[in-house]
């Protein structure tokens, strides 16, 4: 985002990763996408991972790698490639030693000769890079949104322009259609639609906008928003910041009972089911 500085956003992103609660449930990506936002956005998870120890290692080592990096690019990529590789070098043998990945003969590439597909094999560099990039970009998106919704910033920069930050082989049709669109930050329905799980989004009104989509937003000034007819000259815009570890309840009325059972088992006695909701127990 043009107005916000990377080091500040980095601090927000690092704090976000540190505060996530590991949730070890063997759910596919689409099942996680259907999870209530209050749970999904406050949890550290990876598709089809039910090892709490592995998630804990992922979280700790991503955090450690980011602390060494100190800086992010505008789309939330860690600048130091060595930090990502250090993360892989730690987690790859851990996954193999704990039976979460196949140990291959020397010289055989992971994902070949009948072993697990690379994106499923928790010991493959491709899967670990995917986990690293997804967590960092999600944290960056949260940090960016948290700062961009500060009332003082919203007053001066009330809107975003939806832009593409890099080339992609197959742009998502929805993103191609709305590329260049300018909308108020408060237009949650518009921004959430650009992040629809149906085409790989994260179902939140801020980035990332689907893995490898290369989509981003840039700040649009009040003067430009007025010129475009989005607001009147002295109109105030109110934008809620992203919800994170603030909600104590989440609706489970429309969730698959089997998934609810897994979720309750993973959360244990920290929650209780009341009137179709999972509620965090008061201490």
pLDDT at 128 over 60: yes
pLDDT, position 248: 62
Decide which of 58 and 101 is more confident. 58
Q: Tell the residue number behind the tokens 């920290």, with chain if given.
A: 270
Region 206-217 average pLDDT: 88
pLDDT, position 175: 97
Q: Please, what is the average pLDDT of the chain? A: 80
pLDDT at 185 over 60: yes
Decide which of 94 and 105 is more confident. 94
pLDDT, position 3: 46
pLDDT tens digits for range 217-269 = 999 999 999 999 999 998 999 887 665 444 567 788 888 888 888 888 887 77
The CA distance from 223 to 229, in Å, is: 10
pLDDT, position 13: 73
pLDDT, position 96: 84
Closest CA to 89 of 147, 39, 128, 144: 128
pLDDT tens digits for range 50-87 = 888 999 999 998 888 777 665 555 444 544 456 788 88
pLDDT, position 267: 79
pLDDT at 211 over 60: yes
Strands (E), the chain: 21-22, 43-44, 159-164, 182-184, 215-220, 249-251, 271-274, 277-280
Region 163-175 average pLDDT: 92
Residue 2's pLDDT band, with cuts at 50, 70 and 90, is very low
pLDDT, position 155: 92
pLDDT, position 26: 84
> pTM for this one?
0.74
pLDDT, position 119: 62
- Return the minimum-mean-pLDDT range out of 12-16, 39-43, 59-63, 72-76: 72-76
pLDDT at 147 over 50: yes
The CA distance from 194 to 192, in Å, is: 5
- Helix (H, G, I), strand (E, B), or coil: what is residue 165? coil
pLDDT, position 275: 85
Domain range annotation of the chain:
6-144, 152-227, 249-280
Tokens of 38: 């209050």
Neighbours of 8 (CB within 10 A): 12
């Amino acid at each position: 985002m043009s107005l916000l500085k990377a080091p500040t956003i980095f601090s927000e992103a690092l704090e976000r990763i540190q505060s996530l609660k590991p949730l070890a449930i063997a759910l596919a990506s689409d099942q996680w996408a259907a999870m209530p936002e209050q749970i999904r956005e406050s949890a550290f998870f990876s598709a089809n991972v039910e090892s709490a120890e592995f998630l804990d290692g992922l979280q700790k080592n991503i955090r450690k790698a980011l602390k060494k990096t100190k800086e992010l690019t505008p789309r939330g990529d860690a600048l130091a490639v060595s930090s990502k590789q250090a993360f892989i070098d730690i987690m790859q043998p851990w996954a193999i030693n704990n039976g979460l990945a196949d140990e291959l003969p020397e010289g055989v590439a992971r994902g070949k000769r009948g072993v697990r597909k690379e994106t499923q094999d928790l010991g493959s560099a491709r899967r670990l890079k995917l986990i690293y990039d997804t967590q960092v970009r999600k944290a960056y998106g949260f940090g960016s949104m948290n700062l961009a919704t500060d009332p003082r910033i919203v007053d001066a920069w009330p809107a975003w322009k939806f832009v593409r930050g890099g080339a992609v082989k197959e742009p998502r049709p929805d993103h191609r259609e709305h590329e260049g669109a300018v909308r108020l930050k408060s237009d949650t329905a518009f921004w959430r639609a650009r992040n629809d799980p149906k085409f790989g989004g994260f179902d939140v009104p801020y980035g990332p906008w689907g893995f490898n989509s290369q989509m981003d937003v840039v700040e649009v000034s009040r003067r430009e928003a007025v010129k475009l007819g989005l607001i009147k000259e002295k109109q105030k815009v109110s934008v809620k910041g992203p919800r994170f570890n603030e909600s104590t309840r989440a609706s489970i009325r429309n969730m698959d009972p089997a998934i609810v059972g897994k979720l309750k088992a993973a959360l244990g006695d920290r929650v209780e089911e009341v009137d179709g909701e999972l509620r965090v127990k008061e201490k």
